[in-house]
A and B are shown apart, each in its own frame.
Chain A
Amino acid sequence: MLLGCPSEIIVPDPGEYVMHRLNRAEYNNTVRDLLGTSLTPADDFPTDDHGYGFDNIGAALSMSPLHVELYERAADLLVTEALSDPEPWPLTITQQAEEAGASVGSDWGLGFWNLSEEGEVSAVFDLVGEGTWTVRTRAFGHPAAGESARFSLRVDGNEIGQFDAPDLASEVQVFEVDATLLAGFHIVSVAFLNDFWQPEVGADRNLLIDWIEVEGPIGRQTPPNAIKADLLTCDPELIGRSTCTRAILGSFATRAWRRPLTGVELDSLLALAEAAWNVGESWEYGLGLALKAALVSPHFLFRVELDEYPASTEPHRVNDYELASRLSYFLWSSMPDEDLFALAHDGTLHLPEVLAGQVRRMLADPQSDALIDNFAGQWLFIRAIEDAAPDGATWPDFDDDVRASLQAEMRLFFAGFLDGRDMRQLLTSTSTWLDSRLVGHYELDLPEGIVPADGTFVEVDFPDGPRGGLLGMGGLMTATSYPLRTSPTLRGKWVLGHLLCAEPPAPPPGVEGLSTEDETDAETLRERLEQHREDPVCASCHEVMDEIGFALEPFDPVGVHRTEYSEGVPVDASGTFPDGRSFVGPRELTAVIAADERLGGCIARQLYTYALGRGPVFEDLDPMVDIEAAFMDSGYSFEELAIAIVTSDPFLLRRGQP
């Protein structure tokens, strides 16, 4: 606290929270943890608006009628899935031949496909379980030269049976073979083996196929719906409909609303089920209705925090259940787990040593991947790689697979910082993660033994560059480029804004048109940007932004290293700040940024904004000083930074809204 503050201010103002609607990621994660579903209904919700660089800012998360409509729809989908009974095994899946894939032939009519020459009809089946599957097809043939049409029935290219087709359509026949198959995707095909064609004598042997079918797994018990088995913890026949329903609803809604229910609340949910039973609906239908009600309730959709005096700005501690939600949505983007609920129930969660222990536990849990998806995904622009649009004609190989690998590289790299590793190494690290696709994309010539096997990533060190470290990430370089060329300005603005929290203001209206789209001549680009700065209004920002960007010019618009532009002009990667600091290339730039005293404070501020879900306000200055100091004292440890944030007053306190 600043010296000279009036002494009566004992508790610092924690700032104003706006009731936080679950965003899309939080909704999906919450229903996953609540029900065990793999449905992700929030994918259909409107894109969340973001503010201050993140999409979990309470004030920016608006609630439109469309949201409410889709919440009801999502609740319906989730409850229907939860209470459904699986289709009993064996299952039969039929693919009509005329709708399946065929290498040759034509639609014969009447639902048959005509293999008029040697080739095959094939269908892909996704088998739900391993075991014995009966594979069938229905076919007949047109014989010729005294020989019937012969065909092979194959699974994944391996023959499981060979047959002669009947010679008349009226004798069309079903052929079947049992095969032992693993669960998952399989290709079943029918291949015509003995084509014959002599038009001069009117001889034409063909195979006509009606459908391909699989049935199975044979002799295996239908597995129960695991979600239903977990949810229905009692039998209404044994302990009575109301008692059982009350027990199920109590436990479900307590977790869904992330706090214990009052008796009145539980009664009102039960009343919904009872009203349905009274008009003749089944037990499960009534229960489902009450479950839906829990999922469309504001107590589920919002993270509700209450004040005793809502209009008073007197700060007070949030209760331990509210704190458990603050913690779990910060570190996991999801609801609290059993441990957190237990600590909230005991009323000990807010104790500093308990909080610190929980942060360590939660960061070590796989659910902390949410920090990579949502915090790093936004702060470090990993998500922006999805929206980057390098020109397809210039970089035809830049496809969704490359995109995914570029994202994975950054994700794996950031994952290494969730424990105590010095976060300055985000910049100064000389290593990165590569798969074979990135080795190809980056045009790397790796020594034998280091090359990753297909589908796996390995950590590779580049002591002499050019890759490794944040400013060597191809994904980041792509996300900060235009479709046809790099933008030193965009890259410089990104480094200043995201790493040093010193983003220059937007240009005044009318000058935005100066950026050029298809200018690829390097000298001209640098000259144009330098000319641009002759205007003093532009110079004050661009003489920092552009110089940073110049040092990153060795990476082209898709993040591939280059020493010259396509015109044969060598890349000039030198940059100089107005204060005289100068650097050449990404590595020297990295050293300058890593040594910048604003870096630590900026990392702290980014995580603080994300943790609180609100933009920084004046009252945050004091707590930020303490948090920053703790972060730096710990050697820039992410874990210690997270602990400093969750034990700070703004995280532990709240106040009403005047």
Chain B
Amino acid sequence: MSCSRPISRRLFLGGAAAAISLPFLDAMRIRPAHAGGDDIARMLFYFLPNGIHPPSWTPDAAGAEFDFKPIAAPLEAFREDLLFVSGLSNRNAEDVIAGDHARGTASFLTARSIVKSEGEEISNGVSVDQEAAPLLGEAALFPSLQLGIDGGDAVGACDSGYSCAYIRNISWASETTPLAKVTSPRLLFDRMFAGYDPTLTEADRERRRELRTSVLDHALAGAESLNPKLGSRDRAKLDEYMTGVRELELRIAATDSALACAPPDRPPEDLLYVQHVQAMTDLMVLAFECDLTRTISFMFGNGSSYRAFPFLGVSGAHHELSHHQNDPEKIAAIETIATWEIAQAADLIGKLKDRGLLESSMVYIGSEISDGNGHWHYDLPVAIAGQLGGRIETGRHARYDQERPIADLYLEMLQSVGSDLTEFGGDGADPLGAFQA
């Protein structure tokens, strides 16, 4: 199934045009029938670093009459599309040693206790988005997308002896394989839309696809003949490689049928921070709209982000500010940062709604901790937007006691889309039941 492509090749290949945010062209509004079908469900996991100051976020009132605290204010326009959940905890991230940000970030979607290691002993669990991805749409071009804004510092320790992998990745394919994320809008654009040459005939395209696949088959054959000659650890590395090759082969096979809409202009190479966030927001909307994927994880920053926000009139680095010691100025600063981040999330939610995608989607917003000053792994900030195809009754605030594992929420997410898992993470065994009033 594919739809018409009324956009010229010149535009398709993109030029030097300095598109700051991506315009949504009419052509992209043409949606194939299946993109709006009843069975479609989409999940987007939206991570904010350094916690969200709980007193300025969590609604006081539970139920349908919930209130909006200052940081949540940008979401107020979507009141009827929102489900706040409060009082959940991720005890898996707690320990008696330093490294709360690494543990909180790595277990954000896995709800597992990670192993402290600089590389050799990396161990986490499969993340909820990766459990959900095959249930939501194996047929989509990308089983899932991992996106973010910051790649990570060029040098230096990441968090107290924990590998950088823990603090830079929230999606984990297996206990040992973090899924690296794309941070460049231009690269994401190329991944989403490149590889289709409208000047070729269908027969040409088929032939080229087969040849391209033959190269990957060759790589797989090489890996297979190498495998028995390797020790156990090397084989594990090679397995990661082979998994990637097989996934790419599946994508190539799906390429033509999956291109459901024509792209906008290719984003420029270097974007300022705010435009960078906006470009990623627009591409995420487009990835859903064109049905290129049904599962996305997005990191607004890496765990414990030190980003400065001078354009908000805030001095200092985010992580340092989050250790506010009850200094009102610092609390005001982290509120300003979080409010702006939530406004970007609201922009995303609004665009999904404008394009009729919010009803079929779930946008889950959260952080690796709740209070940055004390590194709390309880009372975690959770907001969900969208109805996930009628599965979520929105317009509510569901409150739990502080001991309820966030893994129970993840279990509910998975079961709602047909998973037969009965346990998730380190402590999820009882689906939360927050989706229905």
Contacts and interface: CB of A to CB of B under 8 A. Distances in A.
B374 interface: yes
A50 B241 contact: no
A436 B333 CA distance: 37
Which of A65, A275, A483 has the most chain B CB within a 10 Å cutoff?
A: A65
B320 A482 contact: yes
B215 interface: yes
Interface string B149-161: 0011111111011
B29 interface: no
Given A19-B230, A310-B229, A484-B315, A64 B153 contact: no
Interface stretch (A193-201, A315-323, A503-511, A594-602): A503-511
Given A62-B178, A66-B146, A378 B244 contact: no
A508 B97 contact: yes
A372 to B, nearest CB: 13
A275 B211 contact: yes
B221 A517 contact: no
Contact of A389 (B241, B245, B308): B308
Interface string B104-147: 00000000000000111010000000000000000000000010
Interface stretch (B82-90, B232-240, B341-349): B232-240
B237 A64 contact: no
B221 A384 contact: no
Nearest to A485: B316
B317 A482 contact: yes
A518 B327 CA distance: 11
B388 to A, nearest CB: 26
A518 B181 CA distance: 33
B168 interface: yes
Contacts of B308: 389, 391-392, 483
B229 A306 contact: yes
A384 B218 contact: no
A64 B177 contact: yes
Contact of B97 (A49, A58, A383, A506): A506
A68 B95 contact: no
B238 A298 contact: yes
Interface string A644-658: 000000000000111
A19 B219 contact: no
B184 interface: yes
Contact of B234 (A64, A386, A657): A657
B98 A68 contact: no
Interface stretch (A112-120, A126-134, A288-296, A624-632): A288-296
A161 B118 CA distance: 66
B264 interface: no
B373 interface: yes
A381 B155 contact: yes
Nearest to B145: A66
A227 interface: no
A276 B375 contact: no
B325 interface: yes
Interface in B176-216: 176-182, 184, 187, 190-191, 207, 210-211, 214-216
A72 B180 contact: no
B375 A658 contact: no
A19 B237 CA distance: 7
A60 B163 contact: yes
A285 B165 CA distance: 39
A512 B244 CA distance: 39
A302 B236 CA distance: 13
Contact of A393 (B184, B241, B243, B310): B310
Interface string B309-323: 010000111001101
Contacts of B156: 381, 384, 387
B375 A299 contact: no
A62 B240 contact: yes
Nearest to B16: A99
Contacts of B100: 509
A512 B323 contact: yes
B328 interface: no
Contacts of B315: 391, 393-394, 483-484, 518
Contact of B95 (A60, A61, A293, A509): A509
A343 B205 CA distance: 46
B1 interface: no
B274 to A, nearest CB: 15
Interface in B374-403: 374-375
A62 B165 contact: yes
A52 interface: yes
Interface string A263-282: 00100110010011001110
A456 interface: no
Contacts of B179: 64-66
Given A52-B118, A65-B248, A506 B231 contact: no
Given A64-B179, A272-B214, A279-B207, A389 B317 contact: yes
A69 B146 CA distance: 13
Interface in B324-383: 325, 329-330, 373-375
A537 B319 CA distance: 24
Contact of B320 (A64, A275, A298, A515): A515
A483 B219 contact: no
Contacts of B164: 47, 49-51, 60
A275 to B, nearest CB: 6
Contact of A513 (B229, B237, B323): B323
A301 interface: yes
A64 B173 contact: yes
A310 B165 CA distance: 28
Given A62-B178, A391-B315, A68 B218 contact: no
Given A18-B234, A391-B308, A298 B219 contact: yes
B234 A63 contact: no
B231 A517 contact: no
B96 interface: yes
A46 interface: yes
B99 interface: yes
Given A392-B310, A483-B317, A51 B119 contact: yes
B60 interface: no
A239 interface: no
Nearest to A386: B154
Given A296-B215, A384-B154, A389-B308, A310 B230 contact: yes
Contacts of A510: 374-375
B154 to A, nearest CB: 4
A339 interface: no
B232 A658 contact: yes
B155 A302 contact: no
Which of A70, A73, A377, A513 has the most chain B CB within a 10 Å cutoff?
A: A513
A509 B229 contact: no
A49 B248 contact: no
B191 A69 contact: yes
B184 A297 contact: no
Contacts of B152: 47, 49
Contacts of A70: 187
A57 B222 contact: no
A513 B211 contact: no
Contacts of B184: 44
Contacts of A34: none
19 contacts: A18-B237, A46-B181, A49-B119, A51-B164, A62-B165, A63-B237, A64-B179, A66-B182, A66-B244, A279-B211, A293-B219, A296-B219, A304-B226, A306-B230, A391-B315, A483-B308, A484-B315, A506-B161, A657-B234
Given A311-B232, A387-B156, A510-B374, 4 more contacts: A60-B164, A387-B154, A506-B161, A509-B95
Shortest beta-carbon contacts, A-B, top 7: A657-B231, A68-B244, A60-B119, A51-B118, A46-B180, A47-B151, A506-B98
Interface of A: 16, 18-19, 21, 44, 46-47, 49-53, 55, 57-70, 72-73, 265, 268-269, 272, 275-276, 279-281, 289, 292-293, 296-299, 301-302, 304, 306-307, 310-311, 377-378, 381, 383-384, 386-387, 389, 391-394, 482-484, 506-510, 512-513, 515-518, 615, 656-658
